[in-house]
Amino acid sequence: MTRRFSRPVRVLVVDDSAIVRQILAKELATDPDIEVVGTAPDPFVARDKIVRLKPDVLTLDIEMPRMDGLTFLRKLMKHHPMPVVVLSSLAPEGSENALQALRLGAVEVMSKPGGPYSVEEVVFQLKDKIKAAALADVRRLATTAGGEGQEEELPPLPPLRTTVKIVAIGASTGGTEAIRRIIRRFPAGGPPTLIVQHMPEMFTRSFASGLDSISEMDVREARDGDHLRPGLALLAPGNKHMVLRRSGARYYVRVKDGPMVHHQRPSVDVLFHSVARYAGPNAVGVILTGMGEDGAEGLKAMHDAGAFTIAQDRDTCVVYGMPRAAVELGAVDLQLPLDAIPEAVFRALTREGEGGGAGGGSHPSPRA
């Protein structure tokens, strides 16, 4: 088996439960690409072990004694930025904390074992998230953590005057902040937008609510049968696939079960393939930061169907995995910095008779 890393990813497990620490340390150690260098019951012990053991990645609980995980994460990203995977419960109030963790700079958030999730399933996903975190650009995490930054200086886009077209966006690691920076610039009558973000069940509803609070568009978690309209953005629910369908001149979505694709449900590929089939050249596809290849083949299908396709560039990605896979597949018309993507989407939606989204002619060459 080919090793993904030149050496194992060094992990420190921080959790107040001795049983959780024991289980995670034991199960993570079965992966040759991961080395658990230590565990800690609270942030104070973790602080000392970070200095002494120099882990590559931290797994972090939220509810802990002496100092809660969010306070520790805020301090960590300010003074010693490093990749962090947060483990949280699936309770609604826990999901709000998890989303706050992403705003503070956590690379990934996932649920602890319990409810519908077995220990085996959680550990399997955690291994992938730890590896994604190890590849994350910590500089980007540190500069965006806990603040608005330069996004406040970017004006909203002007109202869109065009026939109804579809925007499809897919993201994974680092995607919550990337999606937020895009959606907040769409105007009230912005294009019908479908979003897949790799995120656990229960977290997507809170994420959609957070997007809605900072966007002029209506943003919510998708429901089966929802019809698309200008000014509405739908987020795929956790643990469900979302696909586009068409009835006459009206678009709607189906939210359904199905096998994982690229170990993901919802899958970006599943959405993009459906958009290629039912919207074709009346769509713009956007693939954002994330580890792996989910979305690359679907974006290629959109590109081949006449849609205009955009990838986030390497310099602004937390993990340049999904965009790179799409570029290497020949699926991308333009690679752009994150903050240039909203304007590019609107230019593509209003173009007539040109290559890409509205014309179906030749596509411009990808830009590195």
- Residue 14, judged by CB atoms within 10 A of its CB (0-12, 13-18, 19+), counts as buried
Letter string b/e over residues 100-134, b meaning 16 or more CB atoms within 10 A of that residue's CB: bbbbbbbbbbbbbbeeebeeeebbebbbbbbbbbb
Task: Name the catalytic one among 111, 172, 267, 274.
Answer: 172
**Which contacts of 357-361 are long-range, i.e. CB under 8 A and separated by 24 or more positions?**
357/165, 357/281, 357/282, 357/283, 357/284, 357/306, 357/307, 357/308, 358/165, 358/281, 358/282, 358/308, 359/281, 359/306, 360/280, 360/281, 360/306
- Contact criterion met (CB below 8 Å) for 43 and 34: no
303 counts as catalytic:
no
- Is 61 among the residues known to form the active site? no
| Catalytic residue from among 226, 294, 313, 333 | 294
Dihedral of CA atoms 109, 115, 121, 126 in degrees, nearest 10, equals 20
For the question of residue 137 being annotated catalytic, the response is: no
- Please tell me which residue in 137, 198, 274, 363 is annotated as part of the active site: 198
Active-site positions read 172, 198, 294
